[in-house]
Structure 1
Amino acid sequence: MAAICVFCASSRTLDQRFLDLATETGAELARRGHTLVSGGGRVGMMGAVAAGVRAAGGRTLGIIPQSLVDLEVADLASDELLITESMADRKTIMIDKSDAFLALPGGLGTLDELFEVWTTATLTLHSKPMTLVDADGFYRPLLDWLGDLAGQTFLKPAGLELLSVVATVPAALDLLESRLS
């Protein structure tokens, strides 16, 4: 099956519902036979997704910069852990090693990764499918703002349409799988 990169929060102070969403995402990835590509961290949602994959018998590939390994946040239980020199290198390798991208709720790091993948797609540097899980309207303000950008011609509608938005993880994976086949 596919290598699916999941972007999500790595905060240690999240509500349990976000950690549960991440764990369920990991389990669903594994049930469907996909490999998880992640930022290689063991904390927050990032750690929960990886743990969910492994608990369901799936495979994980973590990609993490040395500076985060030094902070002792690396997911050393990863089936494969690639250590990079920088965050920029991490994103490049994540894009190269992934067949598709799924974004869960997150903060600046999640948005940075999502926008990197999305921007490179708008520049036709890759044609890999991307979907955003807007669980409980988490991303609604951002999506409204992006719609306003498109309305003011700062963002082409075709670029906006490259990112699919769904409400649930199963819907996200169904959509990604349909675009991978």
Structure 2
Amino acid sequence: MSESRTPPRVDRQLRALQLAKDCAALGARVKTIGHLTGLPPRELLRMLFPDRYSVPRGRPPDSPEWYHGANLLYRAEASIVVSIYRRLRVAGFTAADALVTAYRHYRGVCVPPHRISFDRAFDLVAHTDGLWLTGAQSFSVVACPKCHSEFLAAFGSIAMSNDDCPFCKLVQRYATDQRVQASYPVRPLPDMALIELGTRRLLLQS
């Protein structure tokens, strides 16, 4: 008799609880965590937010309209989150795990303050893949034909030029826009002499 590939109920519950904790640590609202885990709101409040004053509040994001009217820096960071998410999905991650991992990576590569909240990222992903909140897709991830960066565009779009690429626009504005410079500071190049020294030491030790 072959073993079932479906994880036991207790295993699924533990995974849902860990996912809920991860989402809460990233600032997710209770409703968002509920969509991702399937756990009831009352249970989430009891487990994750025993102090009612710590419950994240505010109007839920609505990304389809927001994105197209957002400024350049917000559109660039939104594109970073969703492009990482899409790569993880192609690699075989579940939607929820891909979202959490992509959001963590986004926070690691972008300079604070981070413009995209976890709830916004959830909403963007939902309207890209038609998940959780909606069955309709509002966004596609397309590649710029000039810089080859991936960015969000209206669903079904094909990038024929770089006119809509937020990353090309960032490069164009970099020399004169202090906000762009502060958000994407120039990183110093590694000292090649130190790298060569380290390589020689490794060769001598081998």
Q: Would you tell me which structure has more strand in proportion to its own residues?
A: 1
Please state which structure has a larger fraction of its residues in helix: 2
Structure with bigger gyration radius: 2
**Taking CA–CA contacts closer than 8 Å with sequence separation of 6 or more, which of the two structures ends up with the larger relative contact order?**
1
TM over 0.5: no
TM-score w.r.t. the length of structure 2 is 0.25
